[in-house]
Amino acid sequence: MSDQTTCRRDARPRRLILAGAHRQPGYCLTCGIRAQSVCSVIDDDDIARLAETAVETLVLPGRSFIEEGAAATDFYNITSGSVKLFKALPDGRRQITGFATTGHFLGLAVSDQYAFGAEAIDTVRLCRFSRPRMRQLMDDFPRLERRLLAEASNELVAAQNQMLLLGRKTARERVASFLLERMREAQDPAEDVPLPMTRSDMADYLGLTIETVSRTLSWMRTERLVAIGKGHTVRIIAMERLQTLAAGDAA
């Protein structure tokens, strides 16, 4: 099998130990993305507890900050940028299980090992919480646990959709589904879809090769379904036809 996907920018992505520091009690009060993250369940009165627990960290593009199989010591909350989550086989085949962006919470694991790796796509800023501290927070704020359950349930639904895609959809249907998902995920609700990830990442997410992704996008361009813009964006032209394709209604 091809190992194109293993030829990464860094042959062995090293873990970034960028220390960062615990924040001042008022830190989380001014956090711009608090409203859209799990942190929103903690009131202003108690937010100092959270701020003391959080460690802000910067991760450079291409750097990995969770290693599959490593001891699961921390939880992460992404405050800016986007990351890819993945699993790998011994021979280098990779499956990206999801992309996470601003506001996403990472690191849920019952086991004491991470079940997946995580790598920054662009420059990523995140808040790190140690497991014991997080556990303490969950004990003290049941709403936090409820929110995490909701978060996990949503991810489970997304995972089931992805299984349907990987198991039963054609290449064209996969790419169409992907573009629509990226559109929904984008903060700005325009029809210009940002695709910060490489073709290789798209392929590893969709269970395809980079060539097939590229060919399929070219086909969509000639079919006037999309226009491929400069700088990692795609403009959706024929929304309805793309939706029909993604839903698997037409061959």
Partner DNA sequence: CGCCAGATTGAGTGACCTCAAAATCGGTGG
Partner DNA sequence: CCACCGATTTTGAGGTCACTCAATCTGGCG
210 binds a second copy (CB under 8 A): no
Residues 141-170 that bind DNA (CB under 7 A): 170
Which of 60, 70, 71, 159 binds a second copy (CB under 8 A)? It is 159
Question: What minimum distance in Å lies between the beta carbon of 84 and a second copy?
Answer: 13
Tokens of 126: 């995140």
Interatomic CA distance for residues 47 and 54, integer angstroms:
11
Of 8, 87, 221, 241, the residue at the interface with a second copy (CB under 8 A) is 87
- 187-206 footprint of a second copy as x/- string (CB under 8 A): -----------------x-x
Contact partner, 143, from a second copy, DNA, none, Cβ < 5-8 Å per class: none
Could you tell which of a second copy, DNA, none binds residue 31, using a CB distance below 5 to 8 A set by kind?
A: none
Rounded to 10 deg, the angle between the 171-185 and 142-168 helix axes is 150
Q: Is 136 one of the binding residues for DNA (CB under 7 A)?
A: no
What gap in Å lies between CA 155 and CA 161, rounded to an integer? 10
SS (H, E, C) 69-120: CCECCEEEEEEECCEEEEEECCCCCEEEEEEECCCCEECCCCCCECCCEEEE
Task: Please identify which residue in 72, 171, 227, 238 interacts with DNA, judged by CB under 7 A.
Answer: 171
Burial, 163: exposed, middle or buried (Cβ in 10 Å; 0-12, 13-18, 19+)? Answer: exposed
Site string for DNA, 192-231 (x = CB under 7 A): ------xxx------xxxxxxxxx-xx---------x-xx
End-to-end CA separation in angstroms for the chain: 28
